[in-house]
Structure 1
Amino acid sequence: MIRLFAAIPLPEAMRERLSRLNGGVPGARWVAPENMHITLRFIGEVDEGRAQDIDAALDTVTAQPFPLTLSGLGNFGRGHRAHTLWVGVEKNPALHHLRDKVESAVVRAGLPAEERKYSPHITLARLKDTNSAKLGRFLEENGMFQDGPIMVERFCLYESILGRSGPVYHEVRSYPLGGWSPGGDEAGEE
């Protein structure tokens, strides 16, 4: 079995700027810069055959490149139950269009439709037993964070390998935006 998700990779410079936010929140397990991304669709565990079907379906996704800007910080969960600290993404119809195309491809490959509302973000940290006052202070001090725009020119299929120190993500395949490329082996290479 292989654990997969589709996401937009971030440029190294942006990941480095995001990593400068790391600190000041006791109980936070900060995401390594190389693992920062914008999830389009969490797929979960699938067998190799289904993974190939998903890859083939994602290879048919067509969308145009688009600019993307990060804006603001927030968290999922309330009070002492806060579990995720994130950086937001400015409202962007092109991002939602790409996400819808990816969702449609994954469903065509045989997976059930995602039932949760799409909320684009970059996870900065996972929280456990975090002091809500300190989290609130961190959000207040950094809430005006903004970065970008960056040009989104591809999305990727990632494998997630769970480990004791947190997940490690490996790019399985890259899909260029701007049109479909048959075979696609060289299309996503940089």
Structure 2
Amino acid sequence: MRLFVALPLSEDARARLAALQSGVPGARWVAKDNLHVTLRFIGETDRLGAEELDAGLAGVRAPAFGLTLCGVGFFDRGRYAHTLWAGVERPEPVVFLRDKIESVAVRAGFAPERRKFSAHVTLARLADVPSVRLGPYLETRPGFAAGPYPITRFTLYESRPGGDGVHYEPLAEYPLAGVG
């Protein structure tokens, strides 16, 4: 099973993000129902690994918070963009939660994440599009902002390939404390 931990987004947040999903030829847009903020990609594991991870995640204590989406940009390799994203304004609560989840994952036997964490929602995957070609897309979406949206839980998902694309199946949800 292929797992990841993420913040699920409200219907309104996903609708606002889906409105950004056009105008880049060749982009593989993420399905509206799959939009989320990834906290930790786990990867392939067996049932025992998933159960150990679940037990650790159930012990994570962090406060609920408001999530504001802000800005649109891309990740690149040199001159080529590979991911189009919407950013998270003031990501400190997300980073705090992500750090706790990272500790749990490592204690459960998963390799430490080597990439620097950047709180975002993936809008599209790109097949090495020259970064300069994204200028018109970015220029027509200045000042994107949505929220704040209440974040009261995080979720362990399984990624399942299907004939009509990838489906993200929630395996467990973990509440956050208090009101954000």
Q: Same fold (TM over 0.5)?
A: yes
1:125 matched to 2:150? The reply is: no
Native 8 Å contact 2:91 2:119 kept in 1: no
Secondary structure, in 3 states, of the residue corresponding to 2:21?
A: coil
1:5 matched to 2:1? The reply is: no
Native 8 Å contact 2:65 2:151 kept in 1: yes
Secondary structure, in 3 states, of the residue corresponding to 1:130?
A: strand
Native 8 Å contact 1:27 1:129 kept in 2: no
1:43 maps to which residue? 42
Q: What's the C-alpha RMSD, in Å, of the aligned pairs?
A: 1.7
Task: Spell out, residue by residue over 1:17-67, the C-alpha distance to the aligned partner (whole angstroms, 9 max, x if none).
Answer: 111111111010111110000000000000011110000010000001011
Q: How far apart are residue 133 of structure 1 and its match?
A: 4.4
Native 8 Å contact 1:7 1:37 kept in 2: yes
Paired amino acid for 2:11:
E
Taking the TM superposition and a 5 Å limit, the aligned residue runs for 1:1-190 are 2-77=1-76, 81-130=80-129, 132-163=131-162, 165-178=164-177
Counting matched residue pairs gives 178
What is the TM-score when the length of structure 2 is the normalising length? 0.92
Q: How far apart are residue 81 of structure 1 and its match?
A: 2.0
Taking a change above 3 Å as real, the CA distance of residues 127 and 80 of structure 1, as seen in their structure-2 partners, is farther
Native 8 Å contact 1:26 1:130 kept in 2: no
More strand by share: 2
The runs of 5 or more residues in structure 2 that have no matched partner are none
Q: How far apart are residue 92 of structure 1 and its match?
A: 2.6
Paired amino acid for 1:36:
L
The runs of 5 or more residues in structure 1 that have no matched partner are 180-190
Q: How far apart are residue 68 of structure 1 and its match?
A: 1.2
The CA distance in 1 between the partners of 2:129 and 2:162, in whole Å, is 22
